[in-house]
Chains A and B, each alone.
Chain A
């Protein structure tokens, strides 16, 4: 059993807005081991990014991490002071956000921005830092790194900016990396390169990676295990191959069914999940997915199914989970 890098238990994060209380993360538990890639898949608003932000300690007004436990390398993150979290962020845990276009300071040179991170977390001198920056840029496969450090972000393409952000994230050799939708803003070809890079880093440095995405293809290609989120809750957890082979939750089944298959003859309409995602302020009683579920029973509307272990390493939040299987 690989060492548990991260252990999250019963995490609850809420946002107190004018319109009501948004239950963004509603009592979720999961874990991540070293050299492992955990995928968190779900649509916009399912709570996946908020999960990442909660781990990083970046939840701000009007949001708050209400309760739960986040154990990182055995230490409770939710009990740390802001200063302690500051030292942890960027050094032990790093997060790369989606949409790199605006994620770099437009008035600072790219090299300076990475050097800044080093300055805050390492005792490197200016010259040493500069060398390290060039080395980092080379590691993320940016050509002509010596020239690039003097560039401003606007001189770089989206893919390159994304790499710079990754360079920043790995600059201090973190133990854990959280990537939020790293490929949404990029072309498919760049996407492939990016994951090669991430795999390389994982193998070389033994980093544990949390990959947040809505893209099932990305999950299939790069994750070891997956958790599926819906309306703030984890509805399924499984190793990646098993998830695709035999999903144990109607939502996951729906998602996978809707992928167009080249070999399915006579497929006239792309099957889709009817209905809409509920607003996180007004969640239904009982199972969150019940209004849209084609397997729905009376029990689903009354009782909210918890995340249950169906088999070792396989969890599902569905009363019918045991019945799925081919």
Chain B
């Protein structure tokens, strides 16, 4: 290194990132979220569907399982904007049993999000814990063990694993000794098991990356009670990539849950489920009942899209490469 460098303090003038370092982690995430149009759009979509899910009972015009079987002569499924002979108005049409598709779609959103959120939460907790432990004690037998286990789990394609597990546990309520697991909970657990290895891997990667940062070495040199603070600093810095991953995995989890329902392995009828609605619609395609698959399909599509936009948008703005400029 030349003497001129030691003498003068050089800052990379053209990369104005100095100001950023002073914001808290969560503020940074929020700021990036607002700045990026993609993530904003995704966030809005997700919020809309969460509202639908939470307020489904209030928003649905009818009871989702109520069958408006009309007197003979009525042919369900009815198209959107039609009325049954008794006068029930179907905004999105009716399904094969004369149930209101709109209401079923709303309640279906609710069950789908319930499963997705609970499974992601479990997967997150499990995976993040394992990943953090593995990363922190990198190179030790704990790390090896956990990562081998992760490798094994990841050698199963997600849907295949979920199906195999559900196949083993059976469909419907499961009784393990004195504990009765509701179907929904069981599905959530199965999906959680399928996805936690991915979280573990991501978390470990992030932890390793953080640990190789200079501030960690500095803190280690400082020593003393630095450990607690250090651990907390590392963990705090792992939050943004975890949020990104979480969002993107929500998208896949939703897809997997919907696929499982579609295949008949999810919630059982007559519980409203977007996947089941799509399955039912298959028998009525030849009748040109286009609304039957379209409505639940678009709902699922938009939910997944929302989470993808959110995760993607956040990832793009948190990417340090965005700060690349030409050097002087």
Contacts and interface: CB of A to CB of B under 8 A. Distances in A.
B22 interface: no
Interface string B7-46: 1111111101000000000000000000000000000000
B7 A272 contact: yes
Query: Which one of A19, A20, A44 has the highest number of Cβ atoms from chain B below 10 Å of its Cβ?
Result: A44
Contacts of A259: 3-4, 7
Interface string B293-328: 000000000000000000000000000000001111
Contacts of B7: 254-255, 257-259, 270-273
A214 B326 contact: no
Given A49-B327, A254-B7, A273-B7, A278 B13 contact: yes
Query: Which one of A15, A45, A259 has the highest number of Cβ atoms from chain B below 10 Å of its Cβ?
Result: A45
Contact of B14 (A22, A48, A217): A22
Contacts of A19: 16
A255 B4 contact: yes
Contacts of A22: 14
A50 B326 CA distance: 8
B5 A214 contact: yes
B160 interface: no
Interface string A272-287: 1101111111000000
A53 B326 CA distance: 10
Given A24-B328, A63-B326, A280-B328, A258 B4 contact: yes
A232 B325 CA distance: 16
Nearest to A19: B16
A215 interface: yes
Contacts of A273: 7-9
B2 interface: yes
A310 B68 CA distance: 98
Given A15-B326, A46-B328, A216-B2, A279 B8 contact: no
A122 interface: no
Given A273-B8, A276-B9, A278-B13, A45 B2 contact: no
A44 B12 contact: yes
A322 interface: no
B168 interface: no
B152 interface: no
How many B residues touch the partner, as a band?
A: 10 to 19
Contacts of A231: 13
A18 B6 CA distance: 32
A260 interface: yes
Interface residues of A, number: 42
Contacts of B12: 44-45
A47 B12 CA distance: 11
A20 B6 CA distance: 30
Contacts of B326: 15, 50, 53, 60, 63
A43 interface: yes
Contacts of B6: 258, 260, 270, 272
A123 to B, nearest CB: 35
Contact of B325 (A17, A46, A215, A255): A17
Given A279-B16, A281-B16, A45 B4 contact: no
B173 to A, nearest CB: 56
A272 B9 contact: yes
Interface in B228-257: none
A277 B9 CA distance: 8
Interface in B184-213: none
A192 to B, nearest CB: 14
B13 A280 contact: yes
Interface string A238-266: 00000000000000001101111000000
A271 B16 CA distance: 27
A44 B10 contact: yes
Contacts of B5: 43, 214-215
Contacts of A254: 7-8
Given A15-B325, A17-B325, A278-B13, A260 B3 contact: yes
Interface in A44-88: 44-50, 53, 60, 63
Contacts of B325: 15, 17
A2 B2 CA distance: 32
A109 to B, nearest CB: 29
A20 B325 CA distance: 13
B14 A280 contact: yes
B3 A45 contact: no
Contact of B2 (A217, A257, A278, A281): A217
Contacts of B9: 272-273, 275-277
29 contacts: A15-B325, A17-B16, A19-B16, A41-B4, A43-B5, A43-B10, A45-B12, A46-B328, A53-B326, A63-B326, A216-B2, A216-B4, A217-B3, A231-B13, A255-B4, A255-B8, A258-B7, A260-B3, A260-B6, A271-B7, A272-B9, A273-B7, A277-B9, A277-B11, A277-B13, A279-B13, A279-B16, A280-B328, A281-B16
Interface of A: 15, 17, 19-20, 22, 24, 41, 43-50, 53, 60, 63, 214-218, 231-232, 254-255, 257-260, 270-273, 275-281
Given A44-B13, A273-B8, A277-B10, 10 more contacts: A19-B16, A44-B10, A44-B11, A45-B14, A254-B7, A258-B8, A277-B11, A280-B14, A280-B328, A281-B16
10 A-B pairs with the lowest CB-CB distances in the bound complex, closest first: A258-B7, A45-B13, A215-B2, A45-B328, A259-B3, A43-B10, A216-B4, A19-B16, A47-B328, A272-B7
Interface of B: 2-14, 16, 325-328
